[in-house]
């Protein structure tokens, strides 16, 4: 059974030259607005023939590095700077971003677990469906800017995945490196089925993801890496002229070969991490302690590294619950792919 057309309409003309700022309008009917709409900001910058890039932030609403960098870019990038077409959506899951949350307050939806989406589903599923069936097919390359959000802090990296198509994998990996963050990663996903990544990759498009900090904020350092990376991405894929600017230190390559990279809590309590992001880890080393907050004088539970590598991500809040990811240990490798 074929799906009906998306209920979302764009106020911009994706085929027109020049700079346009508008909205992706999704009709809703609520107590506050009987005939209302979710209005997702979109900017389209087109200058003649060339490739199309989609720059996306706010797939998770509390990941501000990408949101901030893309909002800034919408007022900076000029049509004459571009060859082809750049589509910028700084806040894919607008209701989540407006609420400062990972997920949507309208339906609890986690956009990056809602793909390929559904035109007859929840608000979040309708947004996912619009990206899958309308925006992604227009594109050659997609950059999806993530970071840790409120509950994680993550070293800055561009990432790609192992794919069935070696040429598609090579182009994504080169894009992930050219983003020019201090690290580049071949990423293992815990559950890839409903990710934006998979919706894009399954259409044969080049997909680059990032992680760029976290804690539910941005810093001058994380924002500088993000803004430089977005420009590098556009330059690398031929949409903007210029030279890719790499970091002063040689880029470090990381691999996450399997699920053992993720250290998840089997306790509830107060978290002490013994390492900072980017620190070297040896297998068997104590990386975290969790303290029982209901009493004094009791020994903490120790968590040890299951592999060698570096601390690539950590839980950000000090309070930890059963099942929370405490740490992610990535393997440093000489080459990727
Ligand atoms: Ca994310």
The residue from 220, 239, 255 where one domain ends is 255
Q: Which CATH number is 286's domain given?
A: 2.40.50.100
The CA 325 to ligand 1 mean position distance, Å, reads: 14
Encode pLDDT of 5-22 as tens digits: 999 999 999 999 999 999
- Answer yes or no: are the C-beta atoms of 59 and 112 closer than 8 Å: yes
pLDDT at 189 > cutoff 90: no
- 270 & 132 share domain: no
In the predicted model, what is the mean pLDDT of residues 121-143? 98
The CA 49 to ligand 1 mean position distance, Å, reads: 32
The residue from 255, 275, 295 where one domain ends is 255
Q: Pairing relation of β-strands 269-273 and 18-28?
A: unpaired
Packing angle between helix 220-236 and helix 64-76, nearest 10 degrees?
Answer: 60
Q: Using CA atoms, how far apart are residues 320 and 300, in angstroms rounded to an integer? A: 13
Look at residue 94 and give its three-state secondary structure: helix
pLDDT at 330 > cutoff 70: yes
The CA 59 to ligand 1 mean position distance, Å, reads: 7
Q: How many domains does the chain have?
A: 2
At 1 the pLDDT is: 63
| 287 within domain boundaries | yes
pLDDT at 337 > cutoff 90: no
| 284 within domain boundaries | yes
In the predicted model, what is the mean pLDDT of residues 160-177? 95
Q: Which CATH number is 198's domain given?
A: 3.40.630.10
The CA 239 to ligand 1 mean position distance, Å, reads: 26
The CA 261 to ligand 1 mean position distance, Å, reads: 17
CA distances for 48 relative to 42, 83, 239, angstroms:
19, 6, 11
Average pLDDT over the chain, rounded to an integer = 96
| 22 within domain boundaries | yes
The CA 92 to ligand 1 mean position distance, Å, reads: 12
The CA 145 to ligand 1 mean position distance, Å, reads: 8
The CA 39 to ligand 1 mean position distance, Å, reads: 21
The residue from 229, 255, 281 where one domain ends is 255
Percent of the chain with pLDDT over 90: 94
The CA 149 to ligand 1 mean position distance, Å, reads: 7
The CA 105 to ligand 1 mean position distance, Å, reads: 17
At 158 the pLDDT is: 98
Encode pLDDT of 54-113 as tens digits: 999 999 999 999 999 999 999 999 999 999 999 999 999 999 999 999 999 999 999 999
C-alpha closest to that of 256 among 320, 307, 193? 307
Residues less than 5 Å from ion ligand 1, measured at CB: 60, 146
In the predicted model, what is the mean pLDDT of residues 246-263? 91
In the predicted model, what is the mean pLDDT of residues 284-297? 97
CA distances for 222 relative to 138, 146, 214, 217, 227, angstroms:
30, 12, 9, 10, 9
In the predicted model, what is the mean pLDDT of residues 318-328? 97
The CA 22 to ligand 1 mean position distance, Å, reads: 25
| 319 within domain boundaries | yes
The pTM for the full model equals 0.96
Percent of the chain with pLDDT over 70: 99
At 256 the pLDDT is: 86
| 308 within domain boundaries | yes
User: Which residue segment(s) compose the domain that 290 sits in?
Assistant: 260-330
| 290 within domain boundaries | yes
pLDDT at 117 > cutoff 70: yes
- 32 & 174 share domain: yes
Encode pLDDT of 26-61 as tens digits: 999 999 999 999 999 999 999 999 999 999 999 999
The CA 110 to ligand 1 mean position distance, Å, reads: 10
pLDDT at 188 > cutoff 80: no
Q: Using CA atoms, how far apart are residues 123 and 103, in angstroms rounded to an integer? A: 11
């Amino acid at each position: 059974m074929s799906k009906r057309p998306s209920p979302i309409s764009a106020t911009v003309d994706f085929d027109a030259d020049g700079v346009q700022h508008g909205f992706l309008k999704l009709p809703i009917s609520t107590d506050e607005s009987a005939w209302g709409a979710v209005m997702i900001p979109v900017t389209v910058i087109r200058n003649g023939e060339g490739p199309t890039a989609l720059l996306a932030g706010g797939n998770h609403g509390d990941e501000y590095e990408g949101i901030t960098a893309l909002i800034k870019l919408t007022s900076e990038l000029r049509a004459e700077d571009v060859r082809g077409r750049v589509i910028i959506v700084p806040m894919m899951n607008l209701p989540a971003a407006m609420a400062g949350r990972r997920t949507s307050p309208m339906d609890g939806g986690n956009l990056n677990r809602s793909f390929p989406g559904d035109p007859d589903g929840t608000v979040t599923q309708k947004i996912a469906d619009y990206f899958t069936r309308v925006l992604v097919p227009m594109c050659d390359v997609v950059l999806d800017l993530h970071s840790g959000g409120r509950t994680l802090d993550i070293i800055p990296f561009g990432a790609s995945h192992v794919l069935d198509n070696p040429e598609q994998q090579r182009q994504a990996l080169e894009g992930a490196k050219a983003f020019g963050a201090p690290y580049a990663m071949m990423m293992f996903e815990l559950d890839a089925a409903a990710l934006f990544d998979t919706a894009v990759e399954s259409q044969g498009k080049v997909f680059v993801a990032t992680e760029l900090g976290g804690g539910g904020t941005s810093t001058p350092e994380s924002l500088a890496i993000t803004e430089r990376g977005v420009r590098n991405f556009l330059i690398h894929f031929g949409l903007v002229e210029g030279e890719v600017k790499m970091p002063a230190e040689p880029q470090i390559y990381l691999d996450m070969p399997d699920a053992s990279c993720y250290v998840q809590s089997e306790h509830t309590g107060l978290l002490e991490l013994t390492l900072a992001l980017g620190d070297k880890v040896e297998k068997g080393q104590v990386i975290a302690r969790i303290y029982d907050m209901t009493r004094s004088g009791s020994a903490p539970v120790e968590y040890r590294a299951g592999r060698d590598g570096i601390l690539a991500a950590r839980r950000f809040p000090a309070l930890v619950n059963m099942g929370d990811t405490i740490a992610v240990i990535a393997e440093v490798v000489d080459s990727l792919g």
